[in-house]
Amino acid sequence: MERFAWKAIVKDGMLEEYKKRHDNIWPELKQVLKEAGIKNYTIWNVGNELFGYFECERGVKFAEDYQAQSSVVDKWNEYMKDVMVMELDPETGAQPKMQQVFFLE
């Protein structure tokens, strides 16, 4: 199983709203993520910084491609623009992948 990590910034004063929106994540978005093979998805924060991690049971490329073709993902990204800043990879349409530098199994 491949792992994927991303980072972003929550706009000043918007952390509670960010959390609220994720507490009420759209069922159709959850479905897209599951269909993309994404599991064990967690998002962490410190201050205004966000760190996301998930595992891709069908591979990172499949997950990226599947999300890039989803209008639901596009709508969610648009919905979140007023609370966070995340630059998307222009080639994949997904979050830029962080490079793994250490792994302990």
For 84, list phi and psi in degrees, rounded to 5. Answer: -145, 165
CB 61 within 8 A of CB 97: no
- d(CA 93, CA 105) in angstroms, rounded, equals 30
- Residues classed as catalytic: 22
- d(CA 98, CA 89) in angstroms, rounded, equals 11
